[in-house]
Amino acid sequence: MKMEPIETVEPVVRIQGLNKTYNGQKVLNGVDLCIGKAENVVVLGKSGSGKSTLIKCMVRLSEPDEGSISIMGKDIVKINYQELNALRVKIGFLFQNGALYDSMNVHDNLAFPLRHHRKHLGKEKLNAMISEVLENVGLPEAGNKMPAELSGGMSKRIGLARTLMLKPSLMLYDEPTSGLDTATSKEINQLILDMQRKYQISSLIITHDIACAKMTADRIVMLRDGAIVAAGTYDELNKSNDEWIKSFFN
Ligand SMILES: Nc1ncnc2c1ncn2[C@@H]1O[C@H](COP(=O)(O)OP(=O)(O)O)[C@@H](O)[C@H]1O
Ligand SMILES: [Mg+2]
């Protein structure tokens, strides 16, 4: 009897054979990676292993040399500029420092991404959305604050709130806990989980922080010098006898 294939739904992200070279140095070397609907995949690797380059290729901030990147069924290397922009709206990107505009208060920072994408939204609807995302990140009263008044953890939360304004299907987190103390890191990790559960968001979380990987990952992929050398759940990888893998887990 023939078995039904287990995976019948196209994953949200499918990367195959991704190569990228900078100045003769192979930064990504044959990367294959899939992310399913509402799945959190962590890419764990040391500094300089190619993690940020991987994210940049996924939104075409960097051009891959070879390979294919399909996101929500679209081959992002082949689509035209208009299609790329339409796709980018569905992809949330949390930068290392939240990337807020210093001259605007939190409310205006949150309204900003919608200026281009949802021009016809009324003021009431906009305010309701801002209240909802501030509630989501646990800062319901922060609308009138200026970015300079926010702590590192709060800036990250507002940065996340801003990307949530566009209701992304896929979130890309580049080192979400870098520069944060342990307690604040935990809060950000919890938010990543909350957003996955509440909105069925798929996430790629790039980190060298094992505590972040442990808390957020459904699956961990280990990147070493641009190549994927291991993959599995936290518990599976934690049992590995490989010295290099073990160096992350203690
Ligand atoms: N725009 C660029 N031009 C030249 N080299 C780059 C560029 N971006 C990254 N690199 C190099 O690629 C390697 C991987 O970088 P990156 O993807 O930022 O790693 P990670 O995020 O894992 O720390 C590093 O050696 C870095 O110096
Ligand atoms: Mg990086």
What's the structural domain count of the chain?
2
Nearest CA owner, ligand 1 atom 16? 50
User: Tens digit of pLDDT for each residue in 74-101?
Assistant: 999 899 999 998 898 899 988 766 678 8
User: Tens digit of pLDDT for each residue in 34-62?
Assistant: 999 999 999 999 999 999 999 999 988 89
Stated as kind and residue range, the H or E segment containing 98 is none
Same domain, 52 and 79: yes
Cα-based distances in Å from 166 to 25, 36, 80, 87? 36, 20, 21, 12
Distance 106 CA to ligand 1 centre (A): 32
Mean confidence (pLDDT) of the chain:
91
Of 144, 167, 190, the residue that ends a domain is 167
8 Å CB contact between 96 and 174: yes
Its pTM stands at 0.90
Stated as kind and residue range, the H or E segment containing 67 is strand 66-71
Structural domain includes residue 52: yes
Nearest CA owner, ligand 1 atom 25? 48
Same domain, 149 and 180: no
Same domain, 45 and 104: no
Q: Report how far residue 174's alpha carbon sits from residue 182's, in angstroms, rounded to the nearest whole number.
A: 17
pLDDT computed for residue 115 by the predictor: 77
Structural domain includes residue 95: no
Nearest CA owner, ligand 1 atom 26? 48
Distance 215 CA to ligand 2 centre (A): 20
Domain range for 181: 1-90+168-250
User: With 80 as the cut, is the pLDDT of residue 116 above it?
Assistant: no
Q: What is the mean pLDDT of residues 161-189?
A: 91
Same domain, 1 and 70: yes
Distance 178 CA to ligand 2 centre (A): 10
pLDDT computed for residue 64 by the predictor: 93
Of residues 96 and 108, more confidently modeled: 108
Ligand 1 binding site (Cβ under 6 Å of any ligand atom): 22-23, 27, 45, 47-53
User: pLDDT tier at 225 (50, 70, 90 boundaries)?
Assistant: very high
Q: Packing angle between helix 182-199 and helix 123-136, nearest 10 degrees? A: 130
8 Å CB contact between 118 and 60: no
pLDDT computed for residue 112 by the predictor: 87
pLDDT computed for residue 73 by the predictor: 93
